Structure 1
Amino acid sequence: MVSRLLELFIACREDSTVKLLILKGKGRAFCAGGDVAAVVRDITQGNWRSGASYFRKEFTLNYVMATYSKPQVSILNGIVMGGGAGASVHGRFRVATENSLFSMPETALGLFPDVGSSYYLSRIPGFFGEYVGLTGARLDGAEMLACGLATHFVPSERLSLLEEALCKADSSDPAVISSTISQFSHVPQLKKNSVYYRLNIINKCFSRRTIEDIIGCLEIENNEKDEWITSTIQTLRKASPTSLKISLRSIREGRLQGVGKCLIREFRMVCHVVRGEISKDFVEGCRAMLLDKDRNPKWNPAKIEDVSEEMVDRYFSRLDKDDWEDLELPVRSNLTAHAIAKL
């Protein structure tokens, strides 16, 4: 799918008859993400390069989408997880519905939020992006709109009319497209138990410098045994300690980098993950959560305080292989102002 999308985006870029691209899923998901179980099977068979090559192509697609000269309208009517977020959030228009369900669940799998998410999660106001990336929290369409992951909210029953109107508009003008989508959209009410009502605590705790400090802050705030805080602490303690530490650093570095540099750095990180020389948590996490499904991963190191700064640094270093290259992103031309701002 990644290969085919990349082909289509490149072909449509040169086709003057194509004014915009509409991306949607088939069935109950927009896209539930990459087949990490297949990547793990390759790793266990001694072929980590196969998985790394997949990520190389996927990250290239993310960059093409992020810097595309024509508007992309992603209709997020269903599950939007992991790679599904990378195939949509980088585009200019993201339409959520009452069926939308967003999550970056990588820390529970021994991975980290990738596909350029250190760029877009770090640009969510406050420290909500750190919360979403570290906990794998699930957001509905209203919450996606509230934090900026979605640009519009359209009821699913009106999507066919929206597509028809976009095709009829036959325009590449972002103002025209935005106006067209707005005719079908509204601002939905957040649910009473929405995590978005916890922004004060999230910003206070997830702004802390380290994972240990974040958990410590949550524990201090939990003096009245708040169910949501308790659940958040448990989620963090169940995740891979290594994943948590590299994820936090990745998002923090992403605050100061353009999307291209974020993707190049994330590719270095994911190559270290699939090689498994620093930690084998990715294989173990996928075993526990996706393959055997015992939901009881044995992380190594098992404790957050046992993940050293030196270990974290290694994930951000260039791969020490003579025959391996960093991610080389395509040279972009005819960029829009929206795309230039991302570089």
Structure 2
Amino acid sequence: MRRITEGTSESMGQDGPVLTGRAGRTAHITLNRPRALNALTHPMVLTMSAALAEWERDASVAAVIISGAGERGLCAGGDIRAIHEDARTGGGDASTAFWRDEYRLDARIARYPKPYVALMDGIVMGGGVGVSAHGSVRIVTERSAVAMPETGIGLVPDVGGTYLLSRAPGELGTHLALTGRAVGAADALLCGLADHFVPSDRLDDLRAALAGADVRETVRRYARSAPEGQLAADRGWIDACYAADSVEEIVDRLLGDGRPASKEAAETILTRSPTALKATLAALRLARGLTTLEQVLDQEYRASCAALTTPDLLEGIRAQVIDKDRAPRWSPKELAQVTDAEVERFSARPPGGDLGLGAG
């Protein structure tokens, strides 16, 4: 774990799931569940929201930095074990409450009036993207692996993921959303998920330098050119294949393209939840036509609530993190069996009411 200790106060102690502190004029948030790859819980979201609200009013705070404890990454996403247990035994109320506050936190981060510096070192997935990629200064390293892997557990990309991916160049976002593929630094920069590349061994120095200096100028001084990625070279076949109007046609185009990479993408897609795939494509197309992040978060909240009522969410989490057999039994199991009505459910108003961030 990389952390400045001199001049820093940890308001929750060394063992809390979120550590907050100060170094000079910079406030720090450290996600501190390294054994769970810093997966977000509802109390963590509430702690972060409260800290950001306090620092927004504090004239002595010039910028905020978020990072993750441990050596593996910033954050692997929301605590899906808790979601599984809630959906299985609690009716989903705790999960919807978590999402409501999580998505509000993501919107707060996107509109934060002070520089919000996200150190996206290591694994950054799902909810981890939400608390980093909406920030104003987003830093990746050679260790970064950024992904929205929700279709693999029966969910639609959320936390503003469909907003970000729908605005990536061409159909790159569609490719990442359907496959759930993780990308490195250069590809994250290309897709608009990050702003700067800084080598991981310079993060300590950067963090120290930010304590009393202009954030953007300091980051530019530490930034370097990222190692070459892959997506720029693949734009041709990705744009051609993923421009199709249905997931079935996308898969057909990928299989017919003839490249090993496109065949691999098709095979990956076919392992994901058919229902989530179709709902994700619809969500991405809808997000392209919406103006604000808040409007998209409202739609994603509808999709997440709908997923709680499908068998694929429980099954996907079971297969990936409970039993870890990586062999989910989707229902329905084929794309052709997913009806338009089932897809439309993911954009319907939830029984408990809408999130309402984009109202007015």
Instruction: Map Cα deviations across residues 225-244 of structure 1 (whole Å, 9 max, x no partner).
Output: x3322211111111000000
Query: How many Å separate the matches in 1 of 2:62 and 2:304?
Result: 34
Q: Look up the match of 1:211.
A: 247
Query: How many Å separate the matches in 2 of 1:305 and 1:164?
Result: 55
Q: Look up the match of 1:178.
A: 216
Q: Is 1:295 aligned with 2:326?
A: yes
SS of the equivalent of 1:99 reads: coil
Q: Residue 66 of structure 2 aligns to which amino acid in structure 1? A: L
Instruction: Map Cα deviations across residues 103-159 of structure 1 (whole Å, 9 max, x no partner).
Output: 111101111110011111111111101111110111112221232211000011111
Q: Look up the match of 2:182.
A: 138
Q: Residue 329 of structure 1 aligns to which amino acid in structure 2? A: L
Query: How many Å separate the matches in 1 of 2:256 and 2:261?
Result: 14
Query: How many Å separate the matches in 1 of 2:176 and 2:271?
Result: 15
Q: Is 1:266 aligned with 2:313?
A: no
SS of the equivalent of 2:303 reads: helix
- Picking from 305, 312, 330, the partner of 2:336 is 305
SS of the equivalent of 2:256 reads: helix
SS of the equivalent of 1:255 reads: helix
SS of the equivalent of 1:286 reads: helix
Unaligned ranges ≥5, structure 1: 170-175, 332-342
Q: Residue 25 of structure 1 aligns to which amino acid in structure 2? A: G
- Picking from 33, 37, 61, the partner of 2:81 is 37
SS of the equivalent of 1:217 reads: helix
- What count of residue pairs does the alignment treat as equivalent? 315
SS of the equivalent of 1:33 reads: coil
TM-score of the two chains, using structure 1 as the length reference:
0.88
- Picking from 54, 59, 71, the partner of 1:16 is 59
Q: Is 1:326 aligned with 2:354?
A: yes
Structure 1 segment 1-343 matched on structure 2, within 5 A: 1-27=44-70, 28-169=72-213, 176-190=214-228, 194-222=230-258, 226-257=259-290, 258-274=292-308, 276=309, 279-319=310-350, 321=351, 324-329=352-357
SS of the equivalent of 1:68 reads: coil
Give the 3 Å change call, closer, same or farther, for CA 249–330 of structure 1 in structure 2.
closer
| Shift in Å, 1:177 | 2.6
SS of the equivalent of 2:205 reads: helix
Percent identity of equivalent pairs = 36
Unaligned ranges ≥5, structure 2: 1-43
Q: Look up the match of 2:30.
A: none
Q: Residue 219 of structure 2 aligns to which amino acid in structure 1? A: I
8 Å Cα contact 2:165/2:191 also seen in 1: no
Q: Residue 291 of structure 1 aligns to which amino acid in structure 2? A: I
SS of the equivalent of 2:139 reads: strand
| Shift in Å, 1:330 | 9.4
Query: How many Å separate the matches in 2 of 1:128 and 1:295?
Result: 26
| Shift in Å, 1:68 | 1.3
SS of the equivalent of 1:126 reads: coil
Query: How many Å separate the matches in 2 of 1:157 and 1:108?
Result: 33
| Shift in Å, 1:271 | 0.9
SS of the equivalent of 1:139 reads: coil
TM-score of the two chains, using structure 2 as the length reference:
0.84
Higher relative contact order (CA 8 A, sep 6+): 1
SS of the equivalent of 1:34 reads: coil
Instruction: List, as ranges, runs of 4+ consecutive aligned residues in structure 1 with deviation greater than 4 Å.
Output: none
Query: How many Å separate the matches in 2 of 1:318 and 1:146?
Result: 34
